[in-house]
Amino acid sequence: MLMGKAPSGRARGRSSYHACHCVCALLDFARSISITLAIAYPDITFVQLNHSGCAYLSIDKNGIKNIREVAGYQEMMHNIRVAANNERVAKFISGSFGVEALLLPNLYDTTSFVQPFTPQKDRQTPCA
């Protein structure tokens, strides 16, 4: 959850920080809690983060359906958003459901990436 500074005077005797964003990385977010939470906490933005490629989502029984639901909620409410952790899926969601999907990439260290091993073609493998 991302925290923001509370307006002065609102948090007497408590921490002066309050939640301003909640990123949910589960697909069942659509059916279970999104509308209820969005209505109960209008100052918090709830984001459904999709962390898979399109092919993987297609084998999830309700994956695409749940993304479509949250995209619809995004159209109705100011504090519900749908997001992806890679540009390809964000473009897919935006193009398929007519909403702007947020891009929230993983924060991996890309400078230490190691190229995958490529086997040499001139080697002969012994037959068993």
Task: Return the minimum-mean-pLDDT range out of 5-9, 18-22, 121-125.
Answer: 5-9
Q: Where are the domains of the chain?
A: 16-88
Q: Which residue has the higher pLDDT, 95 or 49?
A: 95
Per-residue three-class SS string for the chain? CEEEECCCCCCCCCCCEEEEEEEECCCCHHHHCHHHHHHHCCCCEEEEEECCCHHHHHHCCCHHHHHHHHHHHHHHCCCEEEEECCHHHHHHHHHHHCCCCEECCCCCCHHHCCCCCCCCCCCCCCCC
User: Is residue 77 scored above 80 in pLDDT?
Assistant: yes
The rounded percent of the chain whose pLDDT value lies above 90 is 21
Confidence of residue 9 (pLDDT cuts 50, 70, 90): very low
Predicted pLDDT at 26: 65
Question: How much is the average pLDDT of 14-21?
Answer: 68
Predicted pLDDT at 1: 44
Predicted pLDDT at 3: 44
Predicted pLDDT at 91: 94
Question: How much is the average pLDDT of 29-36?
Answer: 69
Question: How much is the average pLDDT of 5-27?
Answer: 61
